[in-house]
Amino acid sequence: MSFLFRPVVSRRTVLRQAQDGRDWFELVDSAAPILLFDSGVGGLSVLAELRKVLPQAPVIYAADNGGLPYGTKTEAEVAARVCGLLGRMSERYRPRLICIACNTASTIALSMVRDVLNVPIVGTVPAIKPAAETTRSGAIGLLGTAATIRQAYVDRLESEFAADKTLLRFAAGELVGAAEGKLRGETVDPMVIDRAVAGLRDQPGGAEIDTVVLACTHFPLLHAELTDAFGPGVRFVDGAAGIARRIAALTGGQDFSRSARDLALFTKAEDSLAALAPALERYGLFRQEVLT
């Protein structure tokens, strides 16, 4: 029995249905997973932070490799894939919470997913607020996918938290492929990193940047390469640790029983998945499955 998946009932209704006096958090099956979703391996940067705060939590890491990359798709394409896939995955795997560990999907489809799924959803949005709070020069760079950097969601974050700062955006979609390759054990092409750096530095005011928002979950996987290329004096900010804390807060008081072999779920069978296995194992993902 799942209280999370009764069709469109409000949380208040669910609470009334818990007749034995316990609240609904305690009614969650201890083996119910937290489902992290991304187009590819980027959400592993969020999983790494989640493991620090909730090491005992069972996790399904879901990658829509059949739809990768999201950053070059239209809003309608991304929204349709994310809503459809999360609906299917929810029915199949009964997660206690879903984290959309993808800035592109979150900035486009977070509210739509929340409207259709009756399970707590945590999104990933560009960390403009912490960047604005810590920049000294007042010049912030933002690296994201082409789809993310054009979102009104990002405009709103800028006007709310960084109106008195200079925010320079650059679509660095090439870094997505570089991060995917790195996790398959491939060498990262330094030219790809250099183009992302130049994309910010070459804009008017770009030389003053002291803080770079990594507004794509793939990009923290290239932290070392980006640090080398930007040089000293630039600090990187991403949302992963904050998202992990939010998930921990929303699941506070729940029981967890985790098998040692969490699942990596893909939307398309392809040969390159075998090359990913060693990296996935470093994140505790020892089984692979393809969504059918």
φ, ψ for residue 158, nearest 5 deg: -65, -45
Beta bridge pairs of residue 166: 139
Please say which residue, 32 or 43, places its beta carbon nearer to ligand DGL. 43
Does 45 help bind ligand DGL (rule: CB under 6 A)?
A: no
- Binder to ligand DGL among 102, 108, 237, 240 (CB under 6 A)? 102
DSSP-based three-state secondary structure for 126 = coil
Does 68 help bind ligand DGL (rule: CB under 6 A)?
A: yes
Does 57 help bind ligand DGL (rule: CB under 6 A)?
A: no
Select the span of 90-98, 102-110, 151-159, 161-169 touching ligand DGL (CB under 6 A).
Answer: 102-110
Q: How far apart are CA 101 and CA 125, in angstroms?
A: 9
Select the span of 15-23, 213-221, 243-251, 264-272 touching ligand DGL (CB under 6 A).
Answer: 213-221
User: Minimum distance from CB of 105 to ligand DGL (Å)?
Assistant: 7
For residue 183, the tally of other CB atoms under 10 A from its CB is 21
- List active site positions: 102, 216
Please say which residue, 69 or 254, places its beta carbon nearer to ligand DGL. 69
Beta bridge pairs of residue 265: 62, 289
Does 50 help bind ligand DGL (rule: CB under 6 A)?
A: no
Does 39 help bind ligand DGL (rule: CB under 6 A)?
A: yes
Does 217 help bind ligand DGL (rule: CB under 6 A)?
A: yes
- The sheet that has 139-144: what strands, in order across it? 166-171, 139-144, 211-214, 235-237
Which residues, numbered 151-190, are part of the site for ligand DGL (CB under 6 A)? Answer: 173, 176
Kindly list the residues in this chain that would bind ligand DGL in the complex (CB under 6 A): 38-40, 42, 68-71, 102-104, 145, 148, 173, 176, 216-218
